[in-house]
Amino acid sequence: MSPTVDAAATLVRLANRIGEFFAAFPEREEALDGIAQHLAKFWAPRMRRALYAHLDGAAQGEGLAPLVREAVLTRRGQVEPRRETALSAAPACSAGGH
């Protein structure tokens, strides 16, 4: 297996474990919200980007549990990190400087 495949498999395994916890919630919407909130709060942006790359790429999210897949697709705006633009990534200049 390549390092990319190993990393994707690890992310899928971790996401599915989170999904298993929230699957016990009595309300499906509460479970979906819980998964999305957990990923957004505790996963680093690079991990969330890699999860979406796995979901959007050739693997099409292979291995993701249905509840996890639904959560990350229906709450994508909440979970997926914002892409940095060149302007937002540039350091701010001081008013008195240049």
Rounded distance between C-alpha atoms, residue 81 and residue 4, angstroms: 20
- What is the predicted pLDDT for the residue at 86? 52
Question: pTM value?
Answer: 0.80
Q: Please, how many CA atoms are within 13 Å of residue 66, restricted to the half-sphere of its CB? A: 1
Q: What is the mean pLDDT of each run of 10 residues along the chain (98 residues)?
A: 77 98 98 98 97 96 97 97 64 53
- What is the predicted pLDDT for the residue at 83? 79
Residue 33 near residue 82, CB atoms below 8 Å: no
Where in the chain are the domains?
Answer: 3-80
Token pair for 83 = 């892409």
